[in-house]
A and B are shown apart, each in its own frame.
Chain A
Amino acid sequence: MKVTYTSYTAVAEWKWDLPAEADDTCGICRVQFEGTCAKCKYPGEDCPIIIGACTHCFHMHCISDWIASEASQGKCPMCRQVFKEKIANAPASPQVRTPEARVTRAQAAGSAGATG
């Protein structure tokens, strides 16, 4: 039997590149990292994730609201160590504000049309 594709739709999936032991949910807003913080509409690079030196992760907007509040004393909401961003291994372009929270885009599934 010979099949000929006339068209195809590629589907891509993305995930945050988070430490293996990290939770999948932001402890502040309780939304999964693959979703946005409470203030944003679209997930992804506009609503990035910050990884702390303590390995706790939060939406950047959530943790910055907390750190900006006087009550935080600059501490991680989970472990109460002073919250510092983990320094990324990869060099980042200066425009990128969250170098370690990169989106890894999966290869588009299904390449060219095939016959078989």
Chain B
Amino acid sequence: MAGMSSKRLQKELSKIQGTLPPGITLVSAPDLREWTMDISIIDNPIYPPHETYRMRFSFSPSYPIEAPEVVFVACTSPERKIPLHPHIYSNGIICLDLLDSQGWSPVHNVESVCISIQSMLAGNSKAERPPGDAEFVRSNRQRPRDINFLYHDPKRAFAGGIVF
């Protein structure tokens, strides 16, 4: 399986080093295990266009059969904050079914995940954290993929809520 993830990531990398949709940039891809991407949002006052958000993608050797782990990361230089969204916890964990085994499909890729998250932010109208954010951030020791998120949206477009 190791061959699968590295060959496919190599292909994705050469593609995204060429062109990416507006507002999505590759920050670093030092190896084929962990990449950093920056996104910015146009047309939503909750996310001013000069603010950029950083995401860390971690790939297991069974990518793309298994979803990548994608979290927002905060840093000070350059300044990157965790975007305010009812499905993004203040520790950067994103509750999005696309990233969970329930919603993942191997035809998704780094670019399509970035586009989905970018549009999830662009379409957001609530400048707030998920319910139970403080408690979740304090108590969670699980990796994002092991968290038992409960998806409310019947169409499973976006998600929210955790089963403790």
Contact = CB atoms under 8 A, between A and B. Distances in A.
Interface of A: 27-31, 37-39, 62, 65-66, 69-71, 77-78, 80
Counting chain B residues whose Cβ lies within 8 A of the other chain, the interface size class is 10 to 19
B107 interface: yes
The binding surface of chain A is classed by DSSP as loop
A66 B4 CA distance: 12
Contacts, number: 47
Contacts of B7: 29, 31, 38
A65 B105 CA distance: 12
A71 B107 contact: no
A101 B8 CA distance: 23
Contacts of B11: 30-31
A68 to B, nearest CB: 8
Interface of B: 1, 3-4, 7-8, 11-12, 62, 64-67, 101-102, 104-107, 109
B107 A27 contact: yes
Contacts of B12: 30
A39 B61 CA distance: 13
Contacts of A28: 64-65, 106-107
